[in-house]
Amino acid sequence: MQGSSPRLTPTGHLVFLRPTSLWAAPIDLDTFEVPVEAVPVLDGVNIRLDGYGLFDLAGDGTLIYRRRTDNASPLVEVDRNGRTVRLIGEGFRGAHHGPLRFSPDGGSVAVCRHPVGGIDQVVIHDLRRGTVTPLGGAGDSRSPVWTLDA
């Protein structure tokens, strides 16, 4: 059976992900055989870059999942009361992931973004100028860390 993030339902079905769709098939719990081909049951389930599906099943069969979107929202700065102060950068086709890191002086923030069909890239948002500067070369870059100037 091809797929990731398998779960068993109370009804005796094996539920798992194939790219961004949730699939299901009945399973014989004595032999662990699947007598029929799995069928898609839900499209648009988010999956992390490591292949782990962002969904779960409760004991009564209730499904909870995070919906996949190809349009990332801009980063948002909020005040202590949760009110939006400003948007940082723009939305794009892809997702932000990994840790956000403020520069030591607080004037910039580094984040990894993953465009649809692209590779991971760390970008620097200059909060004073409102500019975005991509870092890295031709390969993936992730998990930014700032260092203090010597």
Amino acid in the structure at residue 33: E
Cβ pair 93, 71 in contact under 8 A: yes
Question: Domain range spanning residue 32?
Answer: 4-65
Single residue among 65, 87, 114 that ends a domain in this structure: 65
Number of domains the chain contains: 2
Residue 139 lies in a domain: no
Distance CA 129, CA 119 (A): 26
Q: Are residues 58 and 77 in the same domain?
A: no
pTM for the whole thing?
0.57
pLDDT in tens, the chain (150 residues): 788 889 888 889 999 998 778 999 999 988 989 989 999 998 888 777 677 787 887 777 778 787 777 666 677 777 777 778 887 877 767 777 767 788 888 888 888 887 777 788 888 989 889 888 888 766 678 888 888 874
